[in-house]
Amino acid sequence: MCGIAGVARIDGGMLTPAADELLRDLACTLAHRGPDDERLLREDQVGLAFTRLSLVDPVGGGQPLVSEDGSVVLIANGEVYNHRELAASLPAGARFKTQSDCEVLLHLYQRDGLNFLDRVNGMIAVVLWDRKRGKLLFARDRFGIKPLFYHRNRERIVFASEIKALFADPATPRRLDWSGALADYGMSSAPALVHEPVNTWFEDIELAPAATVMEIDLKDGSTREHRYWSLPGAAADSDASDEEYIARYRDLLAESVRDCAMADAELGLFLSGGVDSSAVAALAGQSGLRTFSVLTGSTVLNGDAEWSHRAARLLGVPNEQILFDRDRVPGIEEWKSLLWLTETPLCSPEQFYKYELHRHARLRYPEIKGMLLGAAADEFNGGYAIGYAGGGDWDDFLANIGAMARRTSLDERPRMAGWWEVCDLPLLKDAAVSAGRDGGFADPYDAFVAWKYRSLQQYNVWHEDRTAAGNSVEARVPFLDHRLVELVTSIPAARRANLLWDKRILREAMVGILPEELINRPKVPFFHGEGQRHTYRTFTRMLAQGGDALLEEAFSSERAREFVHQDGVRESLRRLERDPENGSVEHLLRLVNLGLLERMTAELPVHPAAAFKAPEPVTYPYSAWEESEEHIRELTLRRPVVDPEAVYGLRSDTLLAHVPAQPGTWYLLVDGACEFVLDEDEEPALTALLRSLDGETSLEKVLACAGLSLDGLRPQLEDVLDLGLVVEAAPKGAVRVR
């Protein structure tokens, strides 16, 4: 992983020595991406800046790389995994000056022109200067794993691996795009299948498109784009059996992991205990591979912490769990530093935890320069099918994503919406919405996959790159091998339910490689679902610290006050303080992030290599989960004090409801909506306790009258108290039971 940047005249003029200062500023801003080396080049119309993190050929692989005849100059960020195979395909006599994996790109360009990336397997962002033809090329890998942003005017173009580097150029505007950001579906989490270009969040800042070569004429700035890869659609039919698909998938994944493990430096791995990261760990085949996991209240309750520990023991690899106890709240400057590093309003708890894992790994083991990830397995392998099925099966999944596709189309043609609003039965087919429009999808699943392809670029690979790069680490993603993606997206539509429901193709491929319990462990969210309130509580406290200091700073600008309803924002924060699950801290955080980013562009922070650093993360040492679980829960979970002499009742907006036709089943309703279902056969003690709490009698007496023991009920009572469903009450009134 490296930092690449530069400036070029695109009006036929030449750069002057004044450009040298800009090149130095660009390199300085990107120093975190490449602490091992820095090189600058300015000649004629083009200036290049390169900062290097050396994972392959540490001694001789510096850049810029220049072709043997001097006609082509290249800087690149990333890895070409199949560089040896590509080098072997070159004509006899092709000479290499280094052992760098990227040098082969020079030869491929001279042989194949704009098609030079067709056979490349890797993750790369490339800037190539063809001196002879007077062209400047930008190119990125198929999934946009490696970033490349730019700003251009009539005279010149400035480009860099990160947006913040562009702001080192006085001629580049520093304006947050409030309208574009607030209208982005990702910001509001609206259920729609979006296929528009990736949002850069700032006005006049563009992102070189993935899977594309851009060619810019340095004489007049004219630009053409050559798309060298697109997501394939489903094959009409296939002679291959399900077993053959699974075997082919296994072989390709094993090859991809081997490719990603290629390095002349040490690698680590983020381990969640799910099938994705466990598969990468097993296929990496490195017994000493260090693995790192997140230990929070959320990962304790959803099982990730325990399962990552178990997976490491089963696979025979060391595992370190970075502890985020219940008092660990990101500080104000700490959050702002992370936000500026990620430079996206979508920065959230996920980025904080992953950044800290990278930071621990790099501080504790400086030799680790790359991190293997299990990320991006869900997007193309059916990992989200169960979630979007809403408790149903594959057909329900297809119906629900079809409704999302229709919503997206109706947003573009709102006058058609009435046909779906006037009747609870369908009157028109979805094809009616897209009739006469180009670029639609006949198959909702294809539209879903295309949306995931876009969201990967907007969110996943963006933040995986920044949280790693901020610690001078390169993130490697074996599941984003184009051969794997081509295989699963080409599965005939009629075969998808067999192979892609709940990632069956991956789970079956791991038979004989992973233990059965790891293969069949259900997918769980990183911190959503069970235990979500513990993460929400942490970040609510972050926003509220210092008298709402982050809110005050974020909404102090004129533009922020124009768009953001500050009273509503503050009341939203107060509600989250009272009940961490009464709203979404992530939605609130996105608005705060927008305001903070605007403030930061007005007064640029220090570059990430010199930014604020919190104390070194700590790990929780244990040899067996069972022996340490109680202590871990004490550290990570907020456990309310249960007072036997206190009087408890259901919260004022909570009802315990019973339907006579369903004996033994009780419903906890919050604000009229059913939040929990209790089965007397499965949880008899908790059900009896909740039925007995009357808001007038002490807990001790309630338990005695119901024949219940506090010791046996304490964990459940602590949970309902922590959720705020049961509260300490004055001894008057009664809990309403229907």
Q: How far is CA 15 from CA 9, 45, 197, 568, 613, in A?
A: 7, 5, 31, 50, 37
Q: Encoding tokens for residue 718?
A: 């602590």
> Is-contact 531 298, C-beta < 8 A?
yes
Cα–Cα–Cα angle for 274, 275, 279, rounded to 5 degrees: 125
Establish whether 674 is a catalytic residue: no
Phi then psi dihedrals of residue 554, to 5 deg: -65, -35
Distance CA(140)–CA(142), nearest Å, equals 7
For helices 625-636 and 304-315, the axis angle rounded to 10 degrees is 150
DSSP annotation of 556:
-
Q: Which two tokens stand for residue 688?
A: 């009896």
Q: How far apart are CA 625 and CA 638, in angstroms?
A: 19
d(CA 523, CA 375): 13
Looking only at the bridges linking them, the beta strands covering 266-270 and 156-160 are unpaired
**CA count, 13 A, side-chain hemisphere, 291:** 32
Neighbours of 680 (CB within 10 A): 15
Give the C-alpha separation, 3 to 127, whole Å: 11
Active-site residue, selected from the candidate residues 2, 28, 102, 260: 2
Cα separation, 696 vs 705, in Å, equals: 14
Q: Which residues contact 572 (CB under 8 A, 6 or more apart)?
A: 583, 588
Cβ atoms 346, 459 nearer than 8 A? yes
How many whole angstroms separate alpha carbon 171 and alpha carbon 658?
67
Tokens of 69: 């005849």
The rounded distance, in Å, linking the Cα atoms of 28 and 127 is 19
Q: List b or e across 83-109, with b for residues whose CB sees 16 or more CB atoms inside 10 angstroms.
A: beebbeeeeeeeebeeebbbbbbbbbb
Whole-angstrom distance, CA of residue 175 vs CA of residue 158: 16
> Measured between alpha carbons, how far is 242 from 238 in angstroms, rounded to an integer?
10
Task: Tell me the CB-side half-sphere exposure of residue 329, using CA atoms within 13 A.
Answer: 15
Q: What are phi and psi of 675, to 5 degrees?
A: -105, -35
* Cβ(563)–Cβ(572) below 8 Å: no
SS3 per-residue string spanning 61-102: CCCCEECCCCCEEEEEEEEECCHHHHHHCCCCCCCCCCCCCC
Q: What is the DSSP string of 647-682?
A: BEEE-TTEEEEE-TTSTTEEEEEETTEEEEEEETTT
Distance CA 609, CA 340 (A): 12
CA–CA separation, 709 and 690 (whole Å) = 14
Nearest to 366 by CA among 500, 465, 265: 265
| 671: its two tokens | 């604000």
Helix (H, G, I), strand (E, B) or coil at 479: coil
Q: Using CA atoms, how far apart are residues 631 and 378, in angstroms rounded to an integer?
A: 33
In this structure, what is the dihedral angle of CA atoms 371, 377, 379, 380, given to the nearest 10 degrees? Answer: 130
The catalytic residues are 2
